[in-house]
Amino acid sequence: MLKCVGTSRLDLLMFHSKHSRLFIFLSFSFSLTSQSRQHLEQITSAGPRPVGSQENEVLTVGYLLKQIEDIQVETAAGPHQLTIDIQRPTGTFSIDFLGGFTSFYDHITNIAVRLEPKGGAQHLMLANCHFDTVANSPGASDDAVSCAVMLEVLHSLANQSTPLNHGVIFLFNGAEENVLQASHGFITQHPWAKQVRAFINLEAAGVGGKEVVFQTGPENPWLVQAYVHAAKHPFASVVGQEVFQSGVIPSDTDFRIFRDFGNIPGIDLAFIENGFIYHTKYDTANRILTDSIQRAGDNILAVLKYLAMSEKLADSSEYRHGNMVFFDLLGVIVVAYPARVGTILNYMVATATFLYLAKKASMPGHGGGRYVRDLACATGVALLSWFVTLLSVLIVALLVTLLGRSMFWYNHFYASVCLYGAAATGKMILIHTLAKNLYYGVSEWKLGDLYFDVSLLLWCCSLVWLTQHGLCSAYVPMLMVAFPLATRLLLAKEFKHRGASAKYCVLYLLGLALPYVHFMFLIWVVFEIFTPIMGRSGTEIPPEVVLASLVTLATIFLSSFFLHFIYLVRSTKRIMAGLGFVFTIMFLLVSCGLFFPYSGDLDSPRPKRVFLQHTTRTFHNLQGQVESRDSGLWINSFDYTGIQHITPHIPEINETVRTRCREDRPFCGYPWFLPVKFLSRKNWYIPAPEVSPSSPVEFSLLSKEETSWGTIKMTFSAKGPSHMSLYLMPHRGASLSTWSFGDGTPRFDLSGEYFVFYSHGLDAPTWIFWFEIQLFAENPDPSGPEGIISVAISSHYFFGKDRRTAQLEEMLHRFPTWAFPSSWVSTYDMYRY
């Protein structure tokens, strides 16, 4: 994240009431200084900081310790005491991320800083950031800036003249990118962890902008209330929380570890803007705007201070139960109320809506169920228009895909709105214009009134459904029902006497302004997050289908309370002609390839992500002899376009060298760093000379024995670079019964395979592990021709002299400027037993 350190001044008046303590901040400034910017630049100047590298374990750790020790000396005479502890944990756990796998870490690094009153503190608040990065990225936003912000917050709190009521732990963790390992090491092993009552996690899924609260809890509504009360620049959405926790976004944070393994509640904040350069070489300090750092510093300091002074932190379990509905209005204020209040409010609005519709059904002239029949037919027309519109736009998306123009909008988002938005809007208007012609002898205002009721009914049904399923996001349809209903009731006479007059239109739009502005803001956030994700979601998910669906759904939702205008106006020919013209021109431009998906423009890069490994693969038979061996450049494209734009620049990378998965080999026989082969099934392999790292993997079977309970126990040793992946594939008639990882029970069987992710810091010992195999009747002979299990281990050299080869360097220089090839050296060794 962003780097931010500086001086701060805070004058605080405290007012006491019978039941609570209220803090009013009279003046506050979180001023950046040259030293603040230097923190961020100093951390990122080391370059990429993968776990195990000197840059991560020595340079960055040394710099952070120096800054913290300076604060310790500076504040020694104050009312607080500051304790520093360097933790090097070793541990293992299983996680259901990326399909599920098991993690093992050894001697990774945590810097834990405990700030508390000099008399000590029984209850602690935790603030967490991470200073490690993925390979090939300097990681300014993810997550150096957060560590810089935390340094300044630590400095500010330590210099307070008024002691805090509770302590605060500032955790600078050095192994988050290794799938949340360092946070697990702290929360499950550090002695301070037992006193932690709540936490704030600082993360990034983009570069800059506002940091959004996208997860809270579980339960513990007092945390949301604290954020609402204290944050200077609030930006929060329960919609984001429920979307993120649904799993549709392929990402996870330390929040999950603290929640699941520490059983403590917290707040998860992240920068989300400009996710196009997240985890790339472009994530540099100069792209972090001062305003972003300022906002983050203001919010985190204020919220941490509020919580560290809060009486609720001391007995958080008393305030544990219940959830909160929370959302901000354009980042100005946050609205928050208990979920149970939201449920009551939702049902009240739904009841009012059904009463409104029931009253209309009982009005004179609507006898015999005529209004109900008309409403049902109109609802059918609306639903049919939605289905036909979505189907039509998806056909357009399919045509774009077949023409080889996928992701044309990646660097030109407006083009997707013009193409898919025009198609969706035009189709909706066309269907309702045709439907209008079927109504003979019905006045325009009655049709308009009827289709307004249809929109109200559909939104009300979604409100009831979401509320019944316990989703706090039900507040959105609640707003989209309450405001239009109130507006219509207030304008009933104006509408009946004048129809769609200018006055009616203006007043109607004013009545819908608040829910529509908020809903459009949510839509913007959705596109801000999902558009960049399409550039790293693999080769199997068709991005045109995803984006076309999102644009169409946004069009359907936004048009809902404007559909009745189609029945009020005399003609829609000009509107449809205009939309048809926009769609036709845009489709022709897209078909001609005018919109190239990627950009190497340093001011606004939109890079294509490619993974490149120079690897040597060795396969052993049941007798331990080398069965086959090869070497090459293994290439993964992490978006749907594959290599179609790369081949013209590097002709050797073409469909003739595309790989095929060998189902008899663990993970297809390739060195997957993480278990993501289901996301990227299209890979390419170009023959190249063997790699010869200076510290090759040492892998051996230490023992194989039959246990008294009828299993076969195999013990192995492995020693190699800081990152290795272990793949286990039991053969037919055999299964893993227990192992030395996680809680001892093998989990997350991925189509008959198990994945274990391993990493270590400095001076780690040899990795020793074991597992037991249970044999079944269909394979009674473990010495048969197939054996009982295939074991493979891959090594990944992310830093140092082993990271590069001459062939890799030569290939990297041939990639176009708009591509970001993340590269390293690896090996893959497979054994059968």
Which 3-state string (H, E, C) describes 621-657? Answer: CCCCCEEEEEEEEEEEECCCCCCCCCCCCCCCCCHHH
Max intra-chain CA distance, the chain: 92
pLDDT for 786? 74
**pLDDT 10s digits, 243-287:** 887 777 777 899 999 999 999 999 999 988 899 999 999 999 999
Q: Record the tokens describing residue 243, joined without a space.
A: 């979307």
Q: What are phi and psi of 139, to 5 degrees?
A: 60, 45
Confidence class for position 572, pLDDT limits 50, 70, 90: confident
In this predicted structure, the answer to whether residue 69 has a pLDDT above a threshold of 90 is yes
Q: In degrees, to the nearest 5, what angle opens at C-alpha 472 toward C-alphas 468 and 477?
A: 80
pLDDT at 25 over 60: no
Of 316 and 790, the one with more pLDDT:
790
Higher pLDDT, 268 or 782: 268
Average pLDDT over residues 607-616: 96
Percent of the chain whose pLDDT exceeds 90: 69
Question: Is residue 347 scored above 90 in pLDDT?
Answer: yes
Is the predicted pLDDT of residue 19 greater than 60, yes or no?
A: no
Whether residue 432 is predicted with pLDDT greater than 50 in this model: the reply is yes
One-letter amino acid of 194: K
HSE at residue 818, side-chain half, CA atoms within 13 A, is 14
pLDDT at 360 over 90: no
For residues 755-772, average pLDDT: 95
Residue-wise pLDDT tens digits, 585-601: 999 999 999 999 999 99
Q: How far is CA 655 from CA 484, 502, 613, 652, in A?
A: 55, 60, 18, 9
The 10s digit of each residue's pLDDT in 175-224 is 999 999 999 999 999 999 999 999 999 998 888 778 889 889 888 889 99
pLDDT of residue 440: 65
Residue 10 has pLDDT above 50, yes or no: no
Identify which has the larger pLDDT, 616 or 249.
616
- 549-563: per-residue pLDDT in tens? 999 999 999 999 888
Pairwise pLDDT comparison (33 vs 501), residue with the higher score: 501
Q: Which of 21-35, 423-437, 488-502 has the lowest mean pLDDT?
A: 21-35
pLDDT at 366: 63
Q: Which residues are catalytic?
A: 176
What average pLDDT does the structure give for the chain?
Answer: 89
pLDDT by residue (tens digit) across 191-203?
A: 999 999 999 999 9
Is the predicted pLDDT of residue 33 greater than 90, yes or no? Answer: no
Provide the pLDDT for residue 779. Answer: 53
Closest CA to 416 of 521, 531, 526, 523: 531
> What pLDDT is recorded for position 782?
56
pLDDT at 22 over 50: no
pLDDT in the model for residue 125: 96
Output the CA–CA distances (angstroms, integers) from residue 100 to 150, 155, 156, 674, 748, in the order listed.
32, 40, 41, 10, 5
Would you state the pLDDT for residue 778? Answer: 57
| Residue 687 DSSP SS3 | strand
Q: What residue ranges define each of the domains in the chain, with the CATH number in brackets? A: 31-322 (3.40.630.10), 341-592 (no CATH), 608-832 (no CATH)
Range of weakest confidence among 12-21, 56-65, 616-625, 733-742: 12-21
Q: 536: closest CA among 392, 639, 404, 648?
A: 639
